[in-house]
Structure 1
Amino acid sequence: MRQNPARRTALLDAAIEVLAKEGSRGLTLRAVDKEAGVPTGTTTNYFADRDALLRQIMARTTERLTPDPEEMAETMKAEPDQRLNVTLLRQLVERMRGDRSSHMAMLELRLEATRRPGLQEDLTRAFTEMLDSNIAWHLDAGLPGDRDTVLLLYLAMLGVIVDDLTVPGLLEPHGIDHIIETLVARSVA
């Protein structure tokens, strides 16, 4: 396998775009080559097979969706109260809207995992680690709420994100900001 990290990242970014636009059925090594604008066969030089590509897409989307540390540090200068929870959830929606392809790719990976036990194990492990990390971060930051609060916020925001990505008109009349404010107010004592 080739080891050019910049090329590997470019291929993974192209694969995310293909997955977001075409779905799992459209994700082929040739489609990634075409999206990346590289010669046919290039993706094959970097990923042994489709399963390896899917696993690495999962890791790359996580990298792309991780908040910028400097922006997060600036946000966290605020008092750890309900308003900060609202701000953090609004920023989550902004990041999703700023990188819709990564979120769509993750939805496609979730669907694909229902048919691929190995991918399901990988996703379960990755999402478990992410959720546990988010819970620990929330508690360590002194934000209001406990473990259950973070779990409920996670589940509710997952629904908001999925609806905003797939049927944006559904939540539009209610206003995402209003939904987030109500969610925090009712979830966080």
Structure 2
Amino acid sequence: MRRNVERRTALVDAAIEVLAREGARGLTYRAVDAEAGVPVGTASNYFANRDELFTQAGSRIYERLARDAAAAMTGPLEGPRDLAKVTELLRAAVGRIESFRTGYLALLELRLEATRRPELRAVLTERVREDVEANIAYHLDSGLPGDATSVRLLYLALNWLIVEHLTLPGVFSDEDVQELVAIAVERAVPR
């Protein structure tokens, strides 16, 4: 297998775009090559099989989401640590995810594919568990109101809200999404 890290990353990013647009069945070496703008056969030189391509795409999506989240959470929280601050942080998180729409849509495809591919399921399970635990730790360490259960409930509620908004954008307007985030915080975080 080839070792050019930049080329491999470009191919994985292309795979994410293909997954978001064409779904898991459309993820072929040829489709990835075309999306990346490289000669036919390039992806097959970097990935031994489709399972590896799926797994690498799943890892890359979480790498990009985690990098964006880490950048947003650097530095001290300013202002009071109250429900309004939790709402502000979660609205920003929803915005970051919406700005990487293809990544999130590809992740939905990968989650479905993970029901049939144990190795992919293991990678996604680890990444999601790490993400949830990191969110809980950040929340608790920041002194924000609520507990670990509040964070889990908000994680679950907002994930489905994001799915709804990205896949069927006519169901809830942008304003509805903002309002629903605030309502979810109000109801999930005990006073």
TM > 0.5: yes
How far did 1:94 drift? 1.0
In 2, the alpha carbon distance for the partners of 1:70 and 1:77 equals 15
Residue 104 of structure 2 corresponds to: 103
In 2, the alpha carbon distance for the partners of 1:125 and 1:22 equals 25
How far did 1:101 drift? 0.4
Amino acid at match of 1:22: E
Deviations 1:85-132 (A, max 9, x none): 111111112112211000001000001111222322222222112211
In 1, the alpha carbon distance for the partners of 2:14 and 2:100 equals 13
Aligned length: 189
Moved more, 75-84 or 160-169: 75-84
Answer yes or no: is the 8 Å Cα contact 2:18–2:32 preserved in 1.
Answer: yes
In 2, the alpha carbon distance for the partners of 1:147 and 1:71 equals 20
In 2, the alpha carbon distance for the partners of 1:173 and 1:44 equals 41
Amino acid at match of 1:9: T
Deviations 1:7-48 (A, max 9, x none): 111111100000000000000111100000000111111111
Residue 148 of structure 2 corresponds to: 147
Moved more, 171-180 or 129-138: 171-180
Residue 36 of structure 2 corresponds to: 36
Residues 123/69 of structure 1: CA separation in 2 closer, same or farther (3 Å cut): closer
In 2, the alpha carbon distance for the partners of 1:121 and 1:64 equals 19
Aligned-residue RMSD, C-alpha:
1.7
Report the TM-score when normalising by structure 1.
Answer: 0.93
Answer yes or no: is the 8 Å Cα contact 2:3–2:46 preserved in 1.
Answer: yes
In 1, the alpha carbon distance for the partners of 2:174 and 2:5 equals 44
Report the TM-score when normalising by structure 2.
Answer: 0.92
Residues 75/180 of structure 1: CA separation in 2 closer, same or farther (3 Å cut): farther
Residue 185 of structure 1 corresponds to: 186
How far did 1:68 drift? 5.2
Residues 20/173 of structure 1: CA separation in 2 closer, same or farther (3 Å cut): closer
Answer yes or no: is the 8 Å Cα contact 2:55–2:123 preserved in 1.
Answer: yes
In 2, the alpha carbon distance for the partners of 1:187 and 1:118 equals 34
Structure 1: gaps spanning 5 or more residues: none
Amino acid at match of 1:95: R
Deviations 1:55-105 (A, max 9, x none): 111111012212254442257333322112111111112112211000001
Give the fraction of aligned pairs with identical amino acids, expressed as a percent: 50
Residue 133 of structure 1 corresponds to: 134
Residue 93 of structure 1 corresponds to: 94
Please identify runs of 4+ aligned residues in structure 1 that moved more than 6 A.
none
Structure 2: gaps spanning 5 or more residues: none
